[in-house]
Structure 1
Amino acid sequence: MLENFHIQDYYGKIITTVILIIVIYILRFILRKVVLKFSEISLKSDNRSKLIIKYFNSLLHILFVIFIILLWGVDTGQLFGFVGAAITFIGVALFAQWSVLSNFTAGVIMFFAFPYKMGDRIRIQDKDFPIEAEIDDIQAFHTILITEEGERISYPNNLFLQKAVVIL
């Protein structure tokens, strides 16, 4: 088996892999700078920007693995069958926990398009449970609000996108 192995046959794939690794690290660096700059301009918290950077890095790593698999010619039929089954299983599990997924998605949306920032006093227009409070922290799944009475309320992020919110 080793007598048929010639490193020269793999130079193209090795060079392409090295280039792909360099591109991934450059993209990670650029995305980090862009997210941190956006965070600084829009007065977002450092914790939220670190979380968004982690999401982007995870996406880049997944894309890297897919490109490497395609580049090196792994039997994609069996691999994609396994991945498809795994994604289906995970999808069913997440569907069972749709509120977690919707809060996570809302947290990402709120990072880029949320008009409020920490320290703002707000009123959530909810006929059953109106809330007037100050935004203490905005996290991936929920936002921490503090009322005038000192109560700490953990408010789901997906409800922020569904309810009318007034800045006081």
Structure 2
Amino acid sequence: MNYIWSSIAILIGYLIALGLKRLLHTMSTSKELDAKRLFYIQKVFELLLVLAVLIALVFIWSVDIKGIAVFASSIFAVIGVALFAQWSILSNITSSIIIFFTFPARIGDTIRIVDGENSIEGIIIEISLFQIELRDTQNNTLLYPNNLLLQKPVIKFATPNEAQNI
């Protein structure tokens, strides 16, 4: 019976993965997002889905959770210390997912990140898991962390087509 339930759990995970892939592809097409951004977001969701299926399989097979819990808590303690030491990495990845779904600017748009005297302006060249890459008027490359991008006001300058529609 466990084999049947395991097969069902894996099949459901696979179907959810297909649905998520289609949904993310549809969203990225409608927002005209870069394929590299879509790839990063898909990998994050695939990892979460694999973890969910593995947890389901542990319950289906009634694996002794005490031994796994001790092992997992040890691993999570080490990971927690590492992530606390490098909190900005996790923060940037989380920010990247938020930017994927909500950020109105795309590659090729001109933006200004307002930060008082330290404001920067440029054309978006790349949006990755950790940073946004801008090119300024002097052709310099500027890298700005995703987590800071969500904390600062951003001005998106209208393109000529957008200006005509106003």
**Which of 28, 33, 43 in structure 1 is aligned with 2:22?**
33
Partners of 2:114 and 2:44 lie apart in 1 by 31
1:15 is displaced (CA, Å) by 0.7
TM-score (norm 1): 0.90
Q: Is 1:121 matched up with 2:147?
A: no
SS in 2 for 1:115: coil
2:84 partner amino acid = F
Distance in 2, matches of 1:51 and 1:104, equals 9
Query: Is the aligned partner of 1:46 residue 2:73?
Result: no
Q: Percentage identity across aligned positions?
A: 36
Q: Among 1, 7, 20, which residue is 1:18 paired with?
A: 7
Unmatched runs of 5 consecutive residues or more in structure 1: 1-11
Q: Give the counterpart of 2:90 among 101, 108, 113.
A: 101
TM-score, normalising length: structure 2: 0.91
- Whether 2:88 is the aligned partner of 1:88: answer no
* SS, match of residue 116 in structure 2: coil
Matched pairs, number: 157
Q: Which whole-Å CA distance do the structure 2 matches of 1:25 and 1:98 have between them?
A: 31
Which secondary structure state, in structure 1, belongs to the residue aligned with residue 149 of structure 2? helix
Q: Give the deviation of 1:37 after TM superposition.
A: 0.3
Q: Whole-Å Cα distance in 2 between the matches of residues 82 and 165 of structure 1?
A: 44
The 2-side partners of 1:99 and 1:20 are apart by 34
Structure 2: distance between partners of 1:101 and 1:16:
34
Once residues 134 and 121 of structure 1 are traced to their aligned partners in structure 2, the CA distance between those partners, rounded to angstroms, is 4
User: Which structure has the greater CA radius of gyration?
Assistant: 1
The amino acid across from 1:126 in the alignment is: D
Please report the RMSD computed on the Cα atoms of aligned residues, expressed in angstroms: 0.9
After the TM superposition, list the runs of 4 or more consecutive aligned residues in structure 1 that deviate by more than 4 angstroms.
Answer: none
CA offset at residue 128 of structure 1?
3.2
Gaps of 5+ in 2: 158-166
Cα distance between partner residues in 2 of 1:154 and 1:125: 15
- Inter-partner Cα distance in structure 1 for 2:94 and 2:29: 22
